[in-house]
Every structure is written in C-alpha cells, then in structure tokens.
A and B are shown apart, each in its own frame.
Chain A
Amino acid sequence: MSDKGRDDGLASPELRRMIKLAGSQQKLPRVRVTADQIFEAYQERRERRRQRWLHGGLAAAACLSLIYLGVSVERALYVRPAAATLAQAEAVPATPSEVVEEAAPLGPRLAAGAAIELLEPHGIPAEVIGPHAIRLSNGTYRIDVEDEGALTVLTPEGELGVETGRFTVAVASSITDVIVESGVAYWVRDGEREPVTPPQRPAKPEASAPELLADAAPARPSAAELAELAEASLRRGQRPAAIRHLRSLVTTYPRSSEAGRGLLDLGRLERAEGDLDASRCAYQLYLDRYPSGSLTADVERALDRLGPGPRCRGLRPR
C-alpha cells in the first residue's frame, strides 16, 4: 500500500524518514496462527455467544413472568377489599390496567383540524406540546391547518405561527425555512408578527431540507455549514441526509473549497448506498471540475472499480 510517489500528506521530511526507518526495522515475523486455530476459536466464541443469547432470553422470559405474576398479585390485592359489596365495588376506582386504557394515549394531542407529517425518513418526529403547539427538530415537515385554525410551531430559529393552510417547514440545525403553499405564516419576534417569505412560492411537497434551504432566501447555509451538516448526519449514521447536504453543497457552492472533497465524499456515500450511477457521476464531476487535482488518480481508480455506466449530466445519470 505504501507505494512510492503516493501522497502521504506529510509536511515533515524528518518524520517521513523516521517512519521509513521504523518500517525498515520491522521484519514481519512468520504468522504462526493457522486457519484451523481460527476456525476452532470462531466456533467456540459463536457457541458462547449463542449461550449468552439463550441465557439472556431465558432471563428476560423469567423477568416478564415475575412482572406478570407481580401485577396479577397486585391486582388481586387491589380488587379484593373493594369487592366486599357491590356498591363498594362500583365505588372503587378501576384497576391499574383499566386506568391506563382510559388515559391512553398519553401526552397532549394535536387539535382535530391540524395535522403534521414528517417528510424525511431520517428526520426527527415533531413533538406535540399542546393542541395548538408543536416543536420541530431536524427534518422536513408538512403542516396542514384547517377550518380557521392556528398552530404555534417552535423551531430552533424561533416561534412560527401558521394559520389555515398548508406549509412545508424544513429544519436543519439552527436554520428553519418555511414554504407557504396556502394560508398565512409569520414569525413571532418580540411580540410582533413578521410575515414569512412574501410573495408566496409554490411548495415542493417532496423536497428535502437542503433543497428547501437552497430555495429559500436569504438564510441559506454556507458551504462550510453544509459540510458540517453532512458530517453531523454521518456521525448520527444518517447517510441519506449526509448525501442530501453534500449534493446541496456541491451544486450550490461549486467553487467553494469544500466542494471538491464534498464530491469525493458524495461518491463514496452514494456507492455505499448502492447507487452506483450516482456515485459514478459524483466522481466524474470531480474529474471534470478538477482535472489536475491531487486526488485525480484515486478518483480514476474509484471510477474503474465502479465499472461502466450511463453518461452523467451533473450529478445525475442521463
């Protein structure tokens, strides 16, 4: 792997010499472990793991049984004194399970004329605070408010009011964008109402957060912010969200310093997602934009590994 001439990224020639010296000092000892030994150990550990699962399952079953037993006993103790007379029995509150059934569902519910839908598979569901109030975290949401109703929407950017209509709200980190399809939406700042993005634009109901962010002026995230959003998504294991942020980065800010590496990350993530054509297009776009970049050879190798495919128009296969 340590081919001569490959860029190792080192700025210190002294350190490079030291690494080379350390490498030349090390002669790989003969690996004594055999495939048979590994297989034996593998079988043993697999068996141990199976046993652990079995014991865990049995323990869980035992716990559930005990809990069930405990609830039954508790219920019996709870009901018995009340059952002395019919009148007393009627006066006694319901058993715990009945109480739970009556109280369900727990937590506040949204008013009948309002509905909220999370459009992004990896977004965070909205939190219902009250019949007319919700809180949004990261994600793209569609909000419908009917019959002269109004809803208070708490977002990281502030309080938003929406009245009788359909709205798409995209929240990414601390930035919130609102598209008003119909109805009225306004920000509540210092007790004053500020209308949202007049004139109204047609909404893109299926649009993802970055696309909305790209559309909605003026609070558009910078290239660095998009790169950070992508990295944060990746850290949370949300690969599709990271891809969307990177797509937004490389299309919105093609000349930014983050765009080149963004394209490479995009190629890698698209491939990991199984979209080989999109991956190929990202790599191809990198080569088109940076024909003499320091990573050109790597990208060409990555393209070779992907094999042939349809031609690309930007990031999309034709």
Chain B
Amino acid sequence: MNAGCGMSLDVQEVGKAFGATRVLQQVRLAMQPGEFVAVVGRSGCGKSTLLRMIAGLDQPTEGQIYVDRQPLHGIHAEVRIMFQDARLLPWKKVIDNVAVGIRAGARRTAEEALRLVGLSERAGEWPRVLSGGQRQRVALARALAGEPRLLLLDEPLGALDALTRIEMQRLIEKLWLEQGFSAILVTHDVSEAVALADRVVLLEEGKVAMDIKINLARPRVKDNGFAHYERVILDRILGTREEEPFVAKKQAHSYSI
C-alpha cells in the first residue's frame, strides 16, 4: 500500500455558527503535505466542528477551506476520518468492514490494511466480539484501506484504556511515517498531542490561541523536552502560568531546548 504524498490543507478565516451560537471564528490553519497536526482544547472549543468541516460533513458559515490549493466542496475522496467510536457496521465481518468504500481490488487491499494494524487473524469475525482497542484498529485499517492523503482523527483513542492508547499511538505514528499522509488529530489529551504531532494548535473559544512546533525527535520519549512542551501547552489552556511562578521558574532551568 502506498498512499503517495500527503495533502496540503489551508483553512482560511473559517467561521461556523449554529444559529446565534458562534462555534468557530476566523480560524486559520495551514498544513504542509505529510505534516501531522494536533488540535487541542477544552471540550466545546470547536475542535471537532473544525474537523467535521475539513471532512466535508459540515459547511463553514464563513471563510473557505482549500485542499491541494483547490476549494473544498463537501466530502473529498482522499480524506478519511476516524471517529471516537469505531462505527463498524455490526452486520459485516471485520474484513468487509475494512473493505467498505474501496472499489477496485477491495479484498486484497482490505487484507493488506488489516495486516498493517496486526489483525489479519480476526478477518472473519463479527465486530461485536472484538475489544474496544481492536475495534479502533479495524477502524484505522478501514481508513487506511482507502489510501487517504489526509487522515482526520477525531479523538479516536479517547475511550481506550491507558495501555491500549499507547499501543495505538505508536501504531498511528508508525503508519503515518510509512505512508506519508497528512494527519490532523483532535484530542483533549495534551500528552498525546505532543507525542504524535509536528505541530500543536490550541483552540480556545473558537479561535486559534496557540500554534506551537514540537521540535522533538521521533519516536518520542517522555524526557524533559517532552515535559516542557506539555507544560507550556497545559499552562496556556489552564491559564496557570502567572498563578504558579514558583513551579514555572523551578522547571525553567531543568530544560535545555
């Protein structure tokens, strides 16, 4: 499987309002092909809405989204999304779930995608017998089988236990490095964002409040540099930087970035 190069994305001054409620305002986000961006923020900050608009499931009320420099109209064939719940079709066997939405050579492509997520031996089973983590791996295989150039991840690991999460994070990173697609991960877990993303974007009250590049080598380990980024982002979210000068000062000279 070879997805080719990733897709470039340009979100220009996008806003979204549901009636009188403005969820997003003048959001700007540009992504290079193959880049991995994480969008973090408190619940209700509009991060999922942003992802749904990029997926073509919702239309922006203002502004425009460009993919590969073309304006985006609705659902794009080379964009795939992974939801928080796996959304597997309970009436299809695992392999047929993976094959949903691929036409040519569906069976072989699906088998290959299942192999990538390490679930080849479960191909003939019903989704209901799988664990939560396995279901998300099937959902990941289904997303990859379509050879996306942009993969959208809407808190796909939110419902998983801590160990399965770490496994899934490594799997996603590995496949992203191999396949070269662009990826956007929406999460409220700052640590997860720092572990995976080239850039972390913080949304606050519908606006981009922070856009920070993560200059750490991959695979990332939870060293001081990691903790620094986590701290900076968390402080910005929680607004505690001024309130806890002692902690910030104490940590400041333990980093070397």
A, B from the same assembly: no
